[in-house]
Structure 1
C-alpha cells in the first residue's frame, strides 16, 4: 500500500474550483456594475462582455500560471497571475472590439467598472480559496517523501519520513524486485529527498531519474551525479537529480490521446480480435493471451498482454530468450501475427488500463539480454527510460531498433532513442510517431 494518498485528483479539484470561482466572480462583477449604473444587470448587453472576456482570460491563465501548482501554494503568485490574465484579457477584448467596430454593443462604463470590480473580487477570492486548498491538499500542496539511507539527517515540514533500513529499501540496480519495492514506497510522491551515504548516492540518482518525481539527493558531489540543480533546504545542500518529464497539462493531453485512440481502435478492431483469438484457440487449444511481467513507469512491474504466438510449454516468462528467425517455439498462427505486429494489439487494453501509453519506451522483461548481459548491466542509464509510461511504439521502433538484441549495441541504440524521446516530448511528436509506426508494422525483424 502507498505511504501517502495521491494528491493529483485533489489538485485538479482545486484548479476546477479556481476556474469556476473566477468565472462566477467575473459575471457577478459585471452584473453588479450594471446595477450600480442603473442598468439591467441580467440583460443580454450586460452579460455579453463577460462571455467574451471569460474564454480569453482562461486561455491566458492556463499559460501564465494562474492555474499552476505555484498558484495553489502561494497566495501572492496566485493573485498576481490571475490579475495579469484579467488585464491581458481586457486589453485583447478592447483591441478586438475597436477593430471590429463593435464597441457600441456594450456600455464602456459597465466595461470599465466591471473589469475593476472583477480585479478586486478575484483577488479576494484567490486569498479566500487558499484555505480550501490547504484543506484539500495540505500546507505544501505536494506529497514530499524523505528517505533516510544512512546520510545526514534532514527535516522537511509536512514531509513523510521513512527509514530505508526499516522498509528494506536497497538501491541496487541489479535487482528489479528491489526497485519495484522502492517504487511502491515512492508511489504518489511528488518530491523525494534521499539522504544517503556517498557510495550509494549514484544509485539513488539513477533510480530517482526513472521514478517520475522531483528527486533530490543530499550530496555535494554535483559533477559525479550530473545534477540538474542545487538548493538549500532544512540547513542542508540538496542536489536535484531528476524532474518529472511532463507537466500536468502535458499529461492530460497525452492521456486524452491514449484513451481516444486506444478506445476507438479496440472498437474498430474487435472483429479482428475475435478472429485471431479463434485461430489461436483452434490451433492447439491453449490460452489466447500471453501475459508477462514487464517493467513500467517508475520501475514498477505490470502485466503486459499479447496474443500468444508460441507453444504453451516453451514460452519464456522472464524474456531471457528472445525470439529468433525460424524459432521452433513459434506456432503457425504465431508467425502470421508476429510478422504483422498483430500480436501486440492486446496492449491497447494496457493503454486503457493506464499501464501503458500509445507512445513511449517499449517495456522489457526482467530477464531480457543484450548479448550476454542483462539490459541494465549494459548501461546504468537504462532505468532512466522508465520516467514515462511504456508505449506500444516509440522513437526507437520507427527508427528500426526492434527485434532481438543479439549485441550490446542493439540496446544502446534503443536506449539513446528512448532518452531522446523523454527529453523532447510533445503531443505533435506523439502523433508523428503514431503515423510513422504504420510504415514499420511489417518488418524483417518480426519473427
Structure 2
C-alpha cells in the first residue's frame, strides 16, 4: 500500500495565492512605480553571492552575518550565501559593471526575495519579499530626502496612513570615532552578560539595537549620537529635515534609532506601523558613505532603502485597506452552445487586447453553473451568448450586481464592456 505524501511550504516561507496575491502585486508595483517616477532604473540581482561580500559589506558583528545567513558550500567548494539584503549586491554590481564611472548619481531599484534564518512569526519570515532603491555617487541632503520621499509616496499611493517615519543621524568619520569611545565606556560600565559585553567591545552601536527589555532598560541613559554630531554632520541632517518639510513628508526625530546593519552613516530612517505589533518596521534605510570603498570600489557615497512587501501587505490588512480589486476579472463570458463558445473565445481575445480583464465558463457548463462561476469571479458583467444571439448579431450584457440585462450588437461589445473597465 502506497502512502501519499503531502508537501508544505518550508517553515517561515509564505505562499501568496489569490485573492491575497493581488494585494502583494499591488504593493510591490506601487513601491516600484514611485521609484521609477524619480528616475531609478531596474536592476536584477543574483539570489546568492560570495559569502565574503555580505560579511564585509553588512558587517561581521551583525546578527545578520553571525546568526541569520543561509550559507553553504556549492559543488565547487565555494562558500555562497542566499542574499540577506540588497545593498551589498547592488554595490558589487555597480563596481563590477563600471556604473560608477558614468553619470552620477547611479539610481537603481530592485525587488525580490531575500533570506534570513530567523524564528518565524507574523511579519518575520525566512524568505522575505522586499523592494529597494539605491542612489550612489553623490553626497547631497536633497538626495537623502528624495529617497525617503519615494518610500513615503509609495506607501501613501496604496492608501496606507497609519505609519510614521523615524529619522536620525549616525554621524560621519569626523565624529563617530569619538562617540564610539564615549558609548563604549558607558556600556562597559553596565552589568551586561558576556555576549552583550563582547558586542559592546566589537561594535557598541549594536547594543543600542538590542530589543531585549532588560538591555533596553540598562541602556536608557546611554549617550546619543545626535548629541555628538560634528558641525558638518549636523548641517547635513538639518538640511535633510528641511527638504522633507518642503516635500510635505512628516517625520519624528528618534535619537535612539539604530539599524541592524553596520554600513549606515549620517541619515538613517525607519518607517513604522504600530498595527503590526512587535514586527512594526515596514521599511527603512540610510546613507552608507564608506561601503563602496569597503567592497573594492571608489570612495563614493550612497543612500537607499529596503521596504518589506510582506509587512506592507499586513499593514494594509491592519487598516482594512484594499490596494487591489479582489475580483480576478471584470467581464465573464457565458456561452450557450458550441458555436457561441467558439465566438466567445474570440470575444475574450478582443477584450484582453483592449486591456479588459476577461474570463469565461469552461468545461461545457450549463447556464446555471456558468452563472455561479460568473458570480464567484467577481466580474461586473456577464456576456450571455447563444445561437439566437449569433443569428441576430447581438450579445446580452448582464449587470451581475443588479441583474439588469440588455442586448448590444456583437461589433460593439468591446466598447460596451470597456464602459465597465476600472
Normalising by structure 1, report the TM-score.
0.23
Which has a greater percent of helix? 1
TM-score normalised according to structure 2 size: 0.24
Query: More strand per residue: 1 or 2?
Result: 2
Higher relative CO (CA 8 A, sep ≥ 6), structure 1 or 2?
A: 2
